[in-house]
């Protein structure tokens, strides 16, 4: 059976100590036909040099000037991908060795879907697993209509699709949805998913395919209100595309509030334990 090329794109900005572990997780894939795209968005901490010395038979690299916005770096990285399938991997997250093999199989066996997603584990700054098999709440295992999936995500009041590490795109449909828009930075990924799922279907794997590293850039008491407001904006965006009854909208807002409370509690607990690292990048 043919093994189509998969592009793993890694936008880089002041990645600190985590970048090498992220790249090692890509190099450890059981799937053999992989292209690695690295785009530095103007790092000042040595990450640019780390990108330059990284070696791989199918490495593609680009270097953007200081001051480049995160959304622009993500967009450029995706534009450079040449694989039939594309995974964007943030610079401090990890994918497990079977991830590409499994998710390519999901998309190949589900031609109606333009996007595959799965669950993920959540790890602390030191790499300790804090929560296992998070995400996909309310979604069935397997094929689901894209708009229906968005409605479920709105009702759940949380990112059930996961961070980019959990997602594999078909390249054509991903390119049609560009650019990544970071006007609402906490929901940069969710708004991009919505552009694809508004027109295409989703395939779901209820299995952890990687690890999302929690840092001060992801969960924060100080930023929790902004995260909540941006998620409300995403919910309204979904409701405009797929109208819902009033009680579903009320449920969606209540669940968003619950997620905010849980995020604050988790952040406070990690800070107390001293295992909440600084973000790998700050803009």
Domain boundaries, the chain: 6-273
Which pLDDT band holds residue 262 (cuts at 50, 70, 90)?
low
Residue tagged 């997780």 (tokens): 25
- Check pLDDT > 90 for residue 256: no
Q: Which residue has the higher pLDDT, 229 or 105?
A: 105
Q: What is the pTM of this model?
A: 0.90
Residues 238, 194: Cα–Cα separation, whole Å: 8
**Which of 41, 37, 38, 75 lies closest to 178, judged by CA?**
75
> 203's torsion region: left (phi>0), alpha (psi -120 to 50) or beta?
beta
Superfamily per CATH, domain 6-273: Spore Coat Polysaccharide Biosynthesis Protein SpsA; Chain A (3.90.550.10)
Which pLDDT band holds residue 189 (cuts at 50, 70, 90)?
very high
Residues 241, 80: Cα–Cα separation, whole Å: 30
pLDDT (0 to 100) of residue 242 = 86
pLDDT (0 to 100) of residue 78 = 98
Residues 109, 112: Cα–Cα separation, whole Å: 9
pLDDT (0 to 100) of residue 263 = 65
- Check pLDDT > 50 for residue 30: yes
Which pLDDT band holds residue 266 (cuts at 50, 70, 90)?
low
Spatial contact of 117 and 134, defined as CB atoms under 8 Å apart: no
pLDDT tens profile 5-25: 999 999 999 998 899 999 999
Spatial contact of 114 and 169, defined as CB atoms under 8 Å apart: yes
* 3-state SS, residue 78: helix
- 156 φ, ψ (degrees, to nearest 5): -70, -25
**Which of 203, 187, 199, 196 lies closest to 235, judged by CA?**
187
H/E element, 10? strand 6-12
């Amino acid at each position: 059976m043919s093994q189509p090329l998969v592009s793993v794109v890694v936008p880089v900005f002041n990645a600190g100590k985590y970048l090498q572990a992220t790249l090692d997780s890509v190099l450890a894939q059981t799937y053999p036909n992989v292209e690695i795209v690295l785009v530095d968005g103007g790092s000042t901490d040595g990450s640019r040099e780390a990108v330059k010395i990284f070696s791989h038979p199918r490495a593609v690299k680009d270097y953007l000037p200081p001051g480049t916005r995160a959304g622009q770096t993500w967009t450029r990285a995706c534009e450079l991908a040449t694989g039939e399938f594309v995974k964007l991997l943030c610079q401090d997250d990890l994918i497990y060795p079977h991830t590409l093999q499994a998710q390519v199989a999901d998309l190949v066996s589900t031609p109606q879907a333009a996007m595959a997603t799965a669950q993920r584990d959540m790890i602390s700054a030191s790499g300790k697993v804090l929560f296992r098999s998070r995400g996909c709440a309310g979604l069935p295992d397997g094929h689901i209509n894209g708009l229906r999936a968005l409605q479920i995500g709105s009702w759940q009041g949380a990112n059930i699709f996961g961070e980019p590490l959990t997602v594999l795109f078909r390249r054509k449909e991903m390119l049609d949805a560009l650019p990544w828009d970071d006007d609402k930075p906490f929901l940069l990924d969710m708004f991009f998913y919505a552009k694809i799922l508004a027109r295409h279907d989703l395939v779901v794997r209820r299995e952890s395919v990687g690890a999302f590293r929690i840092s001060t850039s992801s969960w924060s008491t100080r930023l929790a209100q902004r995260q909540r407001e941006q998620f409300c904006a995403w919910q309204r965006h979904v409701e405009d595309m797929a109208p819902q009854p009033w009680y579903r909208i009320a449920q969606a807002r209540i669940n968003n509030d619950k997620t905010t409370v849980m995020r604050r509690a988790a952040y406070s607990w990690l800070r107390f334990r001293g295992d909440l690292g600084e973000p790998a990048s700050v803009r």
